[in-house]
C-alpha cells in the first residue's frame, strides 16, 4: 500500500454492489434468481449445467478449479466489451469437488483424508483456494461495482437442541469451515424455498399445498440467511415471482433504505 493521504479517508455509508450467497433446496429457482440480474454472466461448474434455459450470458462449463479462476479473470478483462454487469458461480456444491481435487494436487496426496496431515487441517488448502474465488469476485466489485453471487445447495441435518426438542435444519452442503469463510465474506446470504401449507382433504388425509417460492433473508432456527448493514434489516421473507427474484430483492432493499431516510 502506498502512503495514505487525507483524501484517502472515506466517511459515511458507501453504496457498493453486494456479494451474495444464494442457497436453497433443489429446483427452487436459485439459478433463475441469478439469471434475473441484468447483465448477469454465469460460471457453470461440471455437473451443474442447468442454466441453458436462462436468458443471460454463460461461460463454458468449468472442468477444473483452474477453469473457475480463468473464468473470473476473463470476466474481469472483458466485462465492458461483453456487457457483463454481474457474475455468479453455479454452484459451490459442485465447485467444492474441484477445490478438493486441486487441494490434493497441491499437497501431492491421493486421498482427501490425508490433506493437511489429517485431523482438523483437511480443509486448510481448500479455504485458501476459496479465498482466490473471493479475491476474484472482490476485484470485479472494486473495478466495476459488480454484484457477485455464489449459488449453493442445502442439506437437511438434525440439530440437537439442548433447550428443547431436536429439529431439522437446512445447512449449506459444503464443508462447514469453507461455508463459514464464505458466509463471513458475503454481505448478504439468502435462502430460497417453496412455501407450503398443510390442509385436510375430504378423505381426512393431510396434503401439502404449494404457496409459491419465497426469499428468506435472515438466519432462523430452520434455515440459513443473514446480512450486514442494510441487508440485515430486510423483511425476513420476500415474495419470489418466478423470473423476477433479483428485482423483488432489490425493491425490498430500496424500500428499507427509503423508510430509514424519513
Q: Please report the pLDDT score of residue 32 as a whole number.
A: 94
End-to-end Cα spacing for the chain: 39
| Among 193, 178, 190, residue whose Cα is nearest residue 115 | 178
Q: What is the pLDDT of residue 23?
A: 96
Rounded CA-CA distance 89/212 in Å is: 25
Instruction: Please tell me the class of the 16-192 domain.
Output: alpha beta
Distances (CA, A) of 15 to 12, 121, 211, 218, 231: 10, 37, 34, 21, 12
Q: Which residue has the cell 441469478?
A: 34
262 residues of the chain, pLDDT tens digit each: 678 888 778 776 677 899 999 999 888 899 999 999 999 999 999 987 678 889 999 999 999 999 999 999 999 999 999 999 999 999 999 999 999 999 999 999 999 989 988 777 889 999 999 999 999 999 999 999 999 999 999 999 887 777 777 778 899 999 999 999 999 999 999 999 987 655 665 665 665 555 578 999 998 877 889 999 999 999 999 999 888 999 999 999 999 988 876 5
Distances (CA, A) of 24 to 65, 85, 125, 225: 23, 24, 26, 10
Domain locations in the chain?
16-192
Contact (CB, 8 A) for 227 and 245 = no
- pTM, full prediction: 0.89
Amino acid at each position: 500500500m502506498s502512503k495514505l493521504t487525507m483524501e484517502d479517508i472515506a466517511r459515511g455509508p458507501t453504496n457498493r454492489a453486494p456479494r451474495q450467497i444464494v442457497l436453497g433446496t433443489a429446483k427452487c429457482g436459485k439459478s433463475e434468481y441469478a439469471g434475473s440480474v441484468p447483465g448477469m454472466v454465469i460460471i457453470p461448474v461440471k455437473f451443474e449445467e442447468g442454466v441453458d434455459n436462462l436468458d443471460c450470458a454463460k461461460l463454458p462449463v468449468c472442468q477444473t478449479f483452474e477453469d473457475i479462476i480463468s473464468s473470473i479473470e476473463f470476466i474481469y478483462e472483458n466485462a465492458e466489451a461483453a456487457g457483463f454487469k454481474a457474475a455468479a458461480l453455479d454452484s459451490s456444491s459442485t465447485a467444492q469437488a474441484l477445490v478438493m481435487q486441486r487441494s490434493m494436487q497441491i499437497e501431492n496426496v491421493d486421498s482427501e483424508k490425508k490433506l493437511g496431515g489429517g485431523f482438523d487441517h483437511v480443509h486448510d488448502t481448500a479455504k485458501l483456494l476459496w479465498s482466490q474465488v473471493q479475491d476474484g469476485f472482490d476485484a470485479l466489485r472494486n473495478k466495476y461495482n459488480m454484484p457477485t453471487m455464489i449459488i449453493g445447495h442445502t442439506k437437511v441435518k438434525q440439530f440437537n437442541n439442548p433447550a428443547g426438542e431436536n429439529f431439522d435444519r437446512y445447512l449449506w452442503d459444503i464443508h462447514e469451515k469453507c461455508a463459514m469463510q464464505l458466509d463471513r465474506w458475503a454481505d448478504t446470504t439468502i435462502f430460497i424455498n417453496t412455501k407450503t401449507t398443510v390442509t385436510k382433504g375430504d378423505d381426512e388425509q393431510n396434503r401439502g399445498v404449494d404457496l409459491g417460492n419465497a426469499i428468506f433473508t435472515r438466519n432462523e432456527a430452520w434455515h440459513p440467511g443473514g446480512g450486514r448493514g442494510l441487508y440485515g434489516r430486510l423483511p425476513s421473507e420476500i415474495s419470489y415471482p418466478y423470473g423476477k427474484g433479483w428485482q423483488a430483492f432489490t425493491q425490498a432493499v430500496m424500500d428499507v433504505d427509503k423508510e430509514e431516510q424519513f
